[in-house]
Amino acid sequence: MRARFGLFVSRLDRHSGQLYVNGHIVSDIYNFRVKVYDVIWRSEVITTVTVHVNEIGDDAVLNSGSVRLKGL
């Protein structure tokens, strides 16, 4: 995954699907074609994921929180 998404993604956790992004990305809209495999239904699909990247100020970072959804 590094060669294909090298300008955006520094690492992809193939188990969780979590992307770790590089620190110097430009505000833009990025589209990725991804393949997802469901181990329960034993099927895979290819789809497009759209990521909107916007610059935020230091104040927004200092007052931010995070939410992780799992098992949906």
Residue 46 lies in a domain: yes
Q: Which amino acid is at 6?
A: G
67 domain residue, yes or no: no
Torsion of CA 56, 59, 63, 68, to 10 degrees: 20
In a domain, 2, yes or no: no
Low-confidence ranges of the chain (pLDDT < 50): 1-4
Can you give the pLDDT at residue 55?
86
Assess contact for 39 and 15: CB atoms under 8 A: no
Residue 65, in any domain of the structure: no
* DSSP per-residue letters across 41-72: TTEEEEEEEEEEE----HHHHHT---------
Structural domain containing residue 31: 9-58
CA atoms within 13 A on the CB side of 3: 0
Give the pLDDT score at 1: 37
Looking at the domain assignment, is residue 53 inside a domain? yes
72, part of any domain? no
Per the domain annotation, does 70 fall within a domain?
no
pLDDT value at residue 30: 82
pLDDT at 49: 83
Q: How many domains does the chain have?
A: 1
